[in-house]
Amino acid sequence: MNGTGFTLTNLTKVYSSNKRDVLALDDISIAVPQGSFTALLGPSGCGKSTILRILADLEPYSSGSVTIHDETPENIRKAHRLGLALQDPSLLPWRSVRDNIRLPGQVMRAPIPKKRVDELIRLVGLDGFADAKPAQLSGGMRQRVAIARAIVAEPEILLLDEPFGALDEITRQRMNEELQKLWSATSATALLVTHSIAEAAFLADRVIVMSPRPGRIVGDVMVDFARPRRRELLSSGEFHALCDELSALLHSGGDDDLVSDGELITEPAGV
């Protein structure tokens, strides 16, 4: 773990329409070390997905600067050094599990050896499903495929936008443990966007808490539980204390239930 992973410096993002301008991100500065695992925690509409999309070079920003491993997001994306998993597993329904995992290599014109694909299928626990089509899989299994696909090309930065957001709580915890295992085997700098306090606390080295309208950082908490973290951690006193601290931070920025109401601070649809 040496060198910088990604840095955001005075990052500001304004969505402009004819009627009004909406400040989605207000002066965000974050720097994380290479190979670390960071979680962005916040309610809907706080701009956390926008940050992820800016890092993935999928969206422009208004001012400030962004670097990943001292390069621009555009260079990283074009050099195929980026792994991405979204809440929608976005598997192609006509491709088998194996062909879905192979897809990034085909797009990048750097074919991935069959051995590597099969190894990942085994690692994510999908033995015997290599030739199954997405429609034959459960939601959890589809998301495993999406995670395998995100890391198959050995990316330097792994961006995860609520990948388990649509799963039930029990499956979700199991997926978190597997994600930790998979990520530990890589050297990637990871960023997880989530609105689950427990998920952020369980997975991350550092949790950055955000509040909406405008999106800004209200807390930055280091998490130093030893790895690998196990399920028992969830029932420990330290873990509960950490969750309480994060919860307090989340509610510090004005506690109201009108988050998605009124102002047009919404994360772009289809993420």
Partner 1 sequence: MTAATQHAPNSQTRTAAQASTIAAARSQARSEARRSTMNGWLTTLLVSLLLIAIWEVAADLALTRLGVMASPSAIIQSIAANPSLYFNAVSATAWVAMRGWFYGNLAAIFVAVVFVQLRAFESLFLRLALALFCLPLVAVNPLLQVTFDSDTAKVVLAALSVFFVTLVGTMLGLRSADGSPMTMVKAWGGRSLDSLWFVRLPSGIPAILTGLQIGAAAATLGAIFGEFIGAKAGIGVLLINGLMSLDLGRVWAVAVLATLMAAIPYGLFGLLRRWLTPWSAGISSAAAVSSGPRRSFAARSGRAFAYTVGSIVVILLAWYAYLAVFHLTPFVGKTPVDVFTYLVTSPTAAAKRSVIFEALGVTLVHSGIGYIAGLVIGVATAVAFVLFPVSERVFTPLAVALRSVPIIVLTPVLILALGRGLWGVVAIAAIVTFFPTLANTQAGLKRVPADAFTLMRSYDSSRMSTLWRLQLPYTLPSIFASARIAAPTAVLASTLAEWLATGDGLGHVIVNSRAHADYTGLWAAAAILTAVSLIFYSLVSWAERVVLARYAPSYNS
* 111 scored as a contact of partner 1 (CB under 8 A): no
Burial class (CB in 10 A: 0-12, 13-18, 19+), 60: exposed
The number of CA neighbours under 13 Å toward the Cβ of 12 is 11
CB 88 within 8 A of CB 33: no
Minimum CB–partner distance for residue 108 and partner 1 (Å) = 6
* 106 scored as a contact of partner 1 (CB under 8 A): yes
The residue written with tokens 């014109």 in the block is 109
Helix (H) or strand (E) holding 8: strand 4-16
CB 221 within 8 A of CB 250: no
* 104 scored as a contact of partner 1 (CB under 8 A): yes
* 94 scored as a contact of partner 1 (CB under 8 A): yes
Residues in contact with partner 1, total (CB under 8 A)?
Answer: 32
Q: Which of residues 49-78 bind partner 1 (CB under 8 A)?
A: 56-58, 77-78
* 90 scored as a contact of partner 1 (CB under 8 A): yes
* 92 scored as a contact of partner 1 (CB under 8 A): yes
* 170 scored as a contact of partner 1 (CB under 8 A): no
Q: With contacts defined by CB under 8 A, name the span among 26-34, 43-51, 101-109, 235-243 that binds partner 1.
A: 101-109
CB 147 within 8 A of CB 38: no
User: Which of 103, 130 has the CB closer to partner 1?
Assistant: 103
